[in-house]
Chains A and B, each alone.
Chain A
Amino acid sequence: MQHAFPPNPLHMTLVEAAEAVRSGEVTAVALTKASIDAFKTKDAAVNSLISLDEAAALEAAEGLDRLRDAGRLLGPLHGVPLAHKDMYYRAGKPCTAGSKIRADFVPSYTSTALHRLEAAGSITVGMLNMAEFAQNPTGHNAHYGDCHNPWGLDYCTGGSSSGSGAAVAARFVFGALGSDTGGSIRLPAAMCGVTGIKGTQTRVSRYGAMPLSFSADNVGPLARTARDCARLMGAIAGHDPMDPTSAREPVPDYEAALDGNIKGMRIGVPTTYFFDGADDEIVAAVEKAVSLLKEAGAEIIELPLPHMDAVSTYGSIVSRCESAAIHGEWMRKRAADYAVHLSGRIYGGMAVPAAYYIEALSRRGPILKAFGREVFDKVDAFVAPTLRMPVPTLAETDIDRRGAPAISSFNAISNNTRAINYLGLPSVSAPCGFDRNGLPIGLMIQGRPFAEARILKIADVYQRMTDWHERRPEAAA
């Protein structure tokens, strides 16, 4: 790939950085030092980092450079520094999950996602800030400090993968793992102006990832571009014997699918649910994105989506019930060690009858099949705003300080993303503009189960026609 080598190597995309290492234009050590330096000098205001592992990262980078000098590359991420949400286990290293309760937890095994990324040649420079136990959509954290949006430090980053969105947007690192149970990859991607993908439920192994909701947890990446995400997904997707729930579906070459051609592809625009009460600026940005996709050759089809009342109701309780089960013991013994908003959220989940929870899970398959018939027999993908509102401020969504009045704005953030988790569909968020406050707007693209390549292809075509993903915030490295 031909590209002009920028003065700051962190301004390259992940794919450009990997190609620069491969071609010898830059070393893994140089990239890793640049990333570490960016965290050290620029992160104080953003607060995206929980821990930096400088010595281990540089040692890994030196080893990768020696390999490259010997004519050997580990894989498509050779020499690329990454950082990850601090909920991925590594044997012998602390993993806080953004919590006080697990501040000293040291796992005895390493997550499959970390293992696969490093087997592909990436370097882990540190672990990133996140919502406590991955359970808020804003980026607040009472224990490690709130994460701040690089586009406006008073604004939410989105959550729960707050540090992942902020660190990628601020060009501290080329990509990051997040996790997504109700929008936790796509919300920070949208609010921070980067690209993030949640695969089909079961697409990526969850072995060694902190559990929140057995039915809705997803491991996935955030990076600058759809192509970057394709490369990262290619490294982590696929069956894992250590996670028997992971899909046995073959993993296609996601990057090879990005051929720039969506001529004749049928793209749906929902006439139900996803635009309800959406801010005019958000609607306008998504409509403009749709018009560009049409210009690229896609056929645009407006259509209603089935059973959205059920999706909304059922989707609102699944992760809350499962989280209530996981956290029951700590709620009995250490409730005061949770942030106020989190103990409150978990508490509510404890009251939902088991019969309702099982009804919600039991209807999931039939509703997904209805989507197959009534949506995906008519369109190849459908688009929506990632969130319906402009990026809120940290202050207006701060339940711990404002109390109950902040709950409704807090909950409204994930209306669109949470519905997709209930359906288990693959979903990507890509930046599609900026709001009146100068904060990013996200376009969310969904496809059939295991259609990750298709939705990445649409996002890639869109990014070939726009430059939203190339813009850098002032707080960036």
Chain B
Amino acid sequence: MSGELEQLIEQQIETWTGVAPPSDVARAWAEQLAAVIDGFEALRGTLAFEEEPSGFEAALQATKE
């Protein structure tokens, strides 16, 4: 992750939650979000307009034993 993105993430967390990085390990965990961002980029366009979280309970019933 670039230093710029690392700074952005720290600023975002500080701004929204009031939490500063508690350790270098925390910064390293945050750096791993770059891979998560890549993962979401690869999935763009797959979410349908009508989908919503409550569809999961219906899917459990629809696919059950």
Question: Residues on A close to B: CB < 8 A?
Answer: 200-202, 215, 247, 249, 309-310, 312-314, 316-317, 324, 328, 331-332, 335-336, 338, 340-341, 343-345, 347-348, 350-352, 356, 358-359, 361-366, 368-369, 371-372, 376, 399-400, 403-404, 407, 411, 424, 447-451, 453-454
Which residues of chain B have C-beta atoms less than 8 A from A453's C-beta?
65
Which residues of chain A have C-beta atoms less than 8 A from B51's C-beta?
362-363, 365-366
Are B17 and A365 neighbours in the complex by a CB distance under 8 Å? no
Which residues of chain A have C-beta atoms less than 8 A from B9's C-beta?
351
Given A361-B56, A369-B63, A424-B60; A310-B43 close (CB under 8 Å) = yes
Nearest 4 Cβ contacts at the A-B interface: A365-B55, A313-B39, A372-B63, A404-B28
Are B46 and A310 neighbours in the complex by a CB distance under 8 Å? yes
Please measure, in the bound complex, the distance between the C-alpha atom of A313 and the C-alpha atom of B29, giving whole angstroms: 15
Given A363-B51, A364-B53, A404-B25; A335-B59 close (CB under 8 Å) = no
Interface of chain B, main secondary structure: helix
Given A309-B43, A362-B53; A351-B59 close (CB under 8 Å) = no
Contact for B22 among A215, A312, A338, A399, CB less than 8 A: A338
Give 17 CB contacts A-B under 8 Å.
A312-B39, A328-B17, A332-B19, A343-B25, A343-B26, A347-B26, A351-B12, A352-B36, A362-B47, A365-B55, A368-B59, A371-B63, A399-B25, A404-B24, A404-B25, A407-B32, A449-B61
Are B13 and A351 neighbours in the complex by a CB distance under 8 Å? yes
Which residues of chain B have C-beta atoms less than 8 A from A324's C-beta?
17
Least CB separation from A203: chain B residue: B60
Count of B interface residues, CB-CB < 8 Å = 41
Please measure, in the bound complex, the distance between the C-alpha atom of A347 and the C-alpha atom of B62, giving whole angstroms: 36
